Structure 1
Amino acid sequence: MERCLQRFFPILSHTFRKQCHHKLFLERNLFSSSQIIKNYRRNFSTKVDQDVELTHMRNIGIAAHIDSGKTTVTERLLFYTGRIDEMHEVKGKDKVGATMDSMDLERERGITIQSAATHVNWKNHRINIIDTPGHVDFTVEVERALRVLDGAVLVVCANGGVQSQTLTVNRQINRYKVPSIIFINKLDRLAANPHKCLQLIRSKLHRNAAFVQIPIGLENECKGVIDIITRKALYFEGPQGQTVVEAAIPDHLVERTEEKRAELIECVSDVDEELGDMILLDQEPTEEQLKAAIRRTTIARTFTPVLLGTALRNKGVQPLLDAITEYLPNPSEVKNFAFDGTTATEENPEGNKVVMDPTRSKDGKMVALAFKLEQSKYGQLTYLRIYQGGLTKGDSLYNVRSRQRSKTSRLVRMHANKLEDLPEVYAGDICALFGVECASGDTFVSHPRSKYSMESIFVPDPVVSMSLKSKDRSESGKLSKALNRFSREDPTFHTRWDEEGKEMIVAGMGELHLEVYAQRMNKEYGLNVELGKPKVAFRETIIGRVPFDYLHKRQTGGAGQYGRLIGYIEGLSGADNTKLEFVDKTSGTNVPQQYMKSIKKGFLEDSMDQGVYSGSPMAGVRVVLLDGASHIVDSSELAFRICANEAAKQAFTYAEKAILQPIVNVEVTGPIEFSQAVMAGITQKKGTILEQDLDGDYFTLVCDVALNEMFGYASQLRSQTEGKGEYSMEFAYYSRCPEDLEEKLARAYQDSLVQDATKKTKKRR
């Protein structure tokens, strides 16, 4: 019997193979060589992967607020599709950890730090999945994943609802215009309330959303879900919920099902013309017509279907897989653009937009985006999304930015930290390759003359900096190697050498972000490093308007330097207080236009890096150039750039100055009995309470607090809530510092200048 099954296994349907695996192998244990059968399953999956049609592909990401169950959901997706043979928990007692959390630190901390890619097969569809972190400190991982994906699953906790990072992820989804569905997870959790979650999705995320399922019980009574489209109850039986059983709707939920079905049809018909016409004609849509309307509106991003389940209890995951294939788009249904550099002009420096052709053919017009870099034991691993054409092992690639040529020595598909070699990939695929030198966000093409470049990835600026030093000075070489690697892999991790303090400064998105990299240096490089006191990214600005009239004149024999600039500098307020603007209001030829780029660089780059008041970078400043003068011989780009730099410094000296500090949006949750202590702590930090919500035995507090006040808050919150409170924060905006803090920062900067001058004087002597 075993030989027969081995011979005919490749032609069995996916569902039957999965049932054979679970029931025959796990329950009855009829065969002695289950590993042979597993190998057949893997070989068959690889063959399907290579031959899959574009319409049967999905590229999706799993994203959510921290601790909403993203990685657990992904683990179940892998198991039910036959990609893995055992399920493990994020914080499991077996010390194995979830498949997608392959890094040791992830398993120790129980959080996702890096996004991880994998792929599964489900009902003749191949689904490429990227599991993303939920913590705001690693938000760039979500940014670059959503940049290359065609769809997303936004996971929402049935108890926590829409939280701070849920809002951030939603903004990222909107930024890249990614169609998405929502999965309300943790129906088994105490005080789970999916109906309240739906209200928050509509009010906070501003989504036209409706249930396509309703729960059969909540908390400990959670038994399954009802599909309101097909009007069937779905139960998940077996030791691991692998068997989906359809049954009649329980009598007490029939009326609720019809009510929610009518609500679903109303929400979809409001944004879908075809379904709307049917409703006007008083026609009842069939299951197929309703699903087709949901698919159209989901892809158009005018409607969001909401599914339910509890991944930890193995309920609702298989219908989620069905929804991914039924409602989210394939690569041919999403328009992706590239900028054609051959059409670039001064007014349009990037060039015209060109729509990518997703046809899966190897025609020499391949275009791909490198969206993630990772160092492995085989060298740099570059993750690529193919947007046009195809790529075969051994082909040549050209980096549009650097114009460097590389050869595709090895082409792989990722399954967490495991590699699967591929002979070729085509449009719509997500793959990885070795032996390519590039930066995150680079575009690769197959033709040396092609100048297509994909839209870059949004990278937020770091908000926290700390000093970093190795306790052993002999390890400076290894430290430099580690810092170079991490700054290449993570564009939000910055490093610089501070000449004044004679120390290495690392900057990132938060304390946890920098702590993780310090621990990685210890584990991966054997470096014993320590982080110093955090430094906040303050900004310096001016109040009001100050004029400038500066003449730069230098004669050293032969052609000299000459330039004169007249205008004013003014401070910007409100949402513009982090911008730097340059406005040219000159007329005539007193200031020749060919020098305008150099003048702009002199004002916005040379003079804004370091303010004269606190030494912080300038922000919220607009430079307006009114007039000037030039010399036919002595004027040059260098002369006007120096003139602009000195004119700005002169103006800043006489202007009324101010210092801006970053404000973060903080969301605190905990047992209600500790709410007063938490509120008192926020008030003590001069925070502004924006919203307070009481839900059963728990409270949620949303407030704005200066980042400078938030260091060490994790320990403070633990002591205030007996270890039961949680918080998350994300950058919100910049605001002016209190006067006492301004004076302290300005005094410290002036003292450092005096000390530096004293040191230089001593050296001269």
Structure 2
Amino acid sequence: MTKLREDIRNVAIIAHVDHGKTTLVDELLKQSHTLDERKELQERAMDSNDLEKERGITILAKNTAVAYNGVRINIMDTPGHADFGGEVERIMKMVDGVVLVVDAYEGTMPQTRFVLKKALEQNLTPIVVVNKIDKPSARPAEVVDEVLELFIELGADDDQLEFPVVYASAINGTSSLSDDPADQEHTMAPVFDTIIDHIPAPVDNSEEPLQFQVSLLDYNDFVGRIGIGRIFRGTVKVGDQVTLSKLDGSTKNFRVTKLFGFFGLERREIQEAKAGDLIAISGMEDIFVGETITPTDCVEPLPILHIDEPTLQMTFLANNSPFAGREGKYVTSRKVEERLLAELQTDVSLRVEATDSPDKWTVSGRGELHLSILIETMRREGYELQVSRPEVIIKEIDGVKCEPFERVQIDTPEEYQGSVIQSLSERKGEMIDMQSTGNGQTRLVFLAPARGLIGYPTEFLSMTHGYGIMNHTFDQYMPVINAEIGGRRRGALVSIDTGKATTYSIMSVEERGTIFVNPGTEVYEGMIIGENSRENDLTVNITKAKQMTNVRSATKDQTAVIKTPRILTLEESLEFLNDDEYMEVTPESIRLRKQILDKNLRAKAAKKKKSSEE
């Protein structure tokens, strides 16, 4: 009979963005008294990265542990966004079951499909928590039916279809096995009990030779590189001589210098760990995700973790604009390259390739959000860089060129559904489902080429006056559609001079389109200062000052009034880019520019391109 470790449960919490995963983990930490009572629980304790706190999303997978009735529950909190799916896939290897958190009103969303599919593929045991049961618009019974339909659609087996359901309001700290909000009790016991009763305990084969696989990486200035993962077999102690089986098939011997276990939000040093434990190991400087640690006399590596390939790429290059070096701490191509290569150490979904030019790199990721988070992180760290327009990665499958398609789910007021359907059809999206969700809302589901969605979110928000909600996730590769899809419909307003933008000039230019800069902003020749109201690019002088005369006029003392400029965020700037443009990113500024700054040289290049196409 197989021996089990009944004192441990390893579980991952998965969900769509903003369905309450991290809040639920906070509440489990609080109610299990794992956190020091003297330390006030910080809301969303597990979202520790600045960008995570600002955006309210989880980017990196986190791990923690709580003790309940003598059982140690290791909890992995995973990202809910497809762009960080690389994290989700690795976590699935570390756990024996998943807690699927679903919003009691929104129900199953594209991202729920993505993470659930990954869990079912690993034959993990699911538990469903219907969260936000206290919402007035909650529809728990229908949501459970939707989840069941999704399980069937994703090919769940009979055991997985018998999932237990807990109804909760994580933010209020209440839960119950009943779908009636009136039955909610101020305790998370139903969640804890369901985890212990339904998630399988890990197999206790700690007498056998060690097998530990690295699923996550961390870095510490004192101990260097740290590999986080699960012990699948055997026991490990501090001081053990072990062998690391590398991804390329080579092996390296090293001594385990430190072991860490997880207690609440803390990582504590331990002397020994055995099969079923989730731990961190240090002692090997160049350890990577997917590699296996075994005893030196029994080298049996585990299969390498499969990670989905990137679907989007863009060019990163050192900043070479006229304002280069003014605002950043790290401005050389060598520094930018070092930082990109450092990111590869922890982000397995990222690819960085050198190009013909020493100061340009092709960076590939899982989506716009994935790459924009990297750009924003580098910007905050003091880097100056430029990036090109994102483009999808074309793959050849069985001799056929294929491009990534995304599953797009849209919730919009009924009065805007016609505009949404038309706009996505123009971007070659195919509608596969449409249903009314009540309260004058319609849910639309499309299958659309990923390149058609580049730049679409901004258009969608203005089309639905901010009331529409759009979620999309990678679905599959399909044959390339031979058509121009997406792209900007209007041209750019491009500065013809270098200097400071003046109110006088902005007043004369703003009737031509939308302005992106404030008076007093420094601009340079070739910099994009706005969007033209027509399809063509237009060069304008935005630095011209009003001529002073000694003639006093009746209107002389009138105050100049200009429209408030539209200041683009980093994501909006990426969406705005065309193929012949760059986004310049520094710690203080985000600027858009033409790749060729000189107006005459741009015209020559455009003419040459046109003649070569003919």
Distance in structure 1 (CA, Å) of the matches to 2:418 and 2:33: 49
The percentage of counterpart residues that share the same residue type is 26
- C-alpha distance after superposition, 1:501-553 (max 9, x if no partner): 96211110111100111122233x421233211121123xxxxxxxxxxxxxx
The amino acid across from 2:340 in the alignment is L
Partner of residue 385 from structure 1, selected from 220, 230, 234: 230
Residue 396, structure 1, aligned to residue 241, structure 2: yes
Matches within 5 A, 1:178-577: 178-206=124-152, 300-301=159-160, 303-316=162-175, 317-332=188-203, 358-361=204-207, 365-378=209-222, 379-401=224-246, 402-414=250-262, 418-436=266-284, 437-446=286-295, 448-471=296-319, 472=325, 474-499=331-356, 503-523=360-380, 525-539=381-395
Residue 705, structure 1, aligned to residue 448, structure 2: yes
Residue 67, structure 1, aligned to residue 21, structure 2: no
Cα separation, partners in 2 of 1:97 and 1:76, compared to 1, 3 Å: closer
Distance in structure 2 (CA, Å) of the matches to 1:527 and 1:702: 39
Contact 1:88–1:98 (8 Å) recurs in 2? no
Partner of residue 139 from structure 1, selected from 78, 85, 92: 85
State which drifts further: 301-310 or 425-434: 301-310
The amino acid across from 1:326 in the alignment is D
2:563 aligned residue: none
Structure 2 gap segments, 5+ residues each: 176-187, 320-324, 488-578, 580-604, 609-614
The Cα of 1:675 is off from its aligned counterpart by 2.5
Matches within 5 A, 1:148-167: 148-167=94-113
State which drifts further: 485-494 or 112-121: 485-494
The Cα of 1:87 is off from its aligned counterpart by 12
Partner of residue 677 from structure 1, selected from 413, 419, 425: 419
Helix, strand or coil at the partner of 2:471: strand
Helix, strand or coil at the partner of 2:420: helix
The amino acid across from 2:477 in the alignment is Y
Helix, strand or coil at the partner of 2:332: helix
Contact 1:359–1:388 (8 Å) recurs in 2? yes
Cα separation, partners in 2 of 1:325 and 1:717, compared to 1, 3 Å: same
Contact 1:479–1:527 (8 Å) recurs in 2? yes
- C-alpha distance after superposition, 1:62-118 (max 9, x if no partner): 0011111111111111100012257999xxxx9x54111011111011100001000
Question: Which TM-score applies when normalising by structure 2?
Answer: 0.70
The Cα of 1:305 is off from its aligned counterpart by 0.9
Cα separation, partners in 2 of 1:376 and 1:726, compared to 1, 3 Å: farther
Ranked by relative contact order (alpha carbons within 8 Å, sequence separation 6 or more), the top structure is: 2
Distance in structure 1 (CA, Å) of the matches to 2:349 and 2:79: 15
Distance in structure 2 (CA, Å) of the matches to 1:204 and 1:308: 18
Contact 2:7–2:70 (8 Å) recurs in 1? yes
Distance in structure 1 (CA, Å) of the matches to 2:132 and 2:236: 41
1:728 aligned residue: 471
Contact 1:118–1:129 (8 Å) recurs in 2? yes
Helix, strand or coil at the partner of 1:102: coil
- C-alpha distance after superposition, 1:327-370 (max 9, x if no partner): 111102xxxxxxxxxxxxxxxxxxxxxxxxx3344x6x111111
What is the RMSD computed on CA atoms of the aligned residues? 2.8
Distance in structure 1 (CA, Å) of the matches to 2:342 and 2:154: 43
The Cα of 1:190 is off from its aligned counterpart by 3.6
- C-alpha distance after superposition, 1:653-693 (max 9, x if no partner): xxxxx643221111112334432332222122121000112
The Cα of 1:416 is off from its aligned counterpart by 7.8
Contact 1:393–1:408 (8 Å) recurs in 2? yes
State which drifts further: 398-407 or 323-332: 398-407
Cα separation, partners in 2 of 1:468 and 1:78, compared to 1, 3 Å: same
Helix, strand or coil at the partner of 1:61: strand
Distance in structure 1 (CA, Å) of the matches to 2:468 and 2:123: 34
For these two proteins, the number of residue pairs brought into alignment is 458
The runs of 4+ residues in structure 1 deviating greater than 6 Å are 86-89
Distance in structure 2 (CA, Å) of the matches to 1:511 and 1:88: 37
The amino acid across from 1:398 in the alignment is T
Structure 1 gap segments, 5+ residues each: 1-52, 210-270, 272-296, 333-357, 540-617, 622-657, 749-754, 759-765
The Cα of 1:155 is off from its aligned counterpart by 0.8
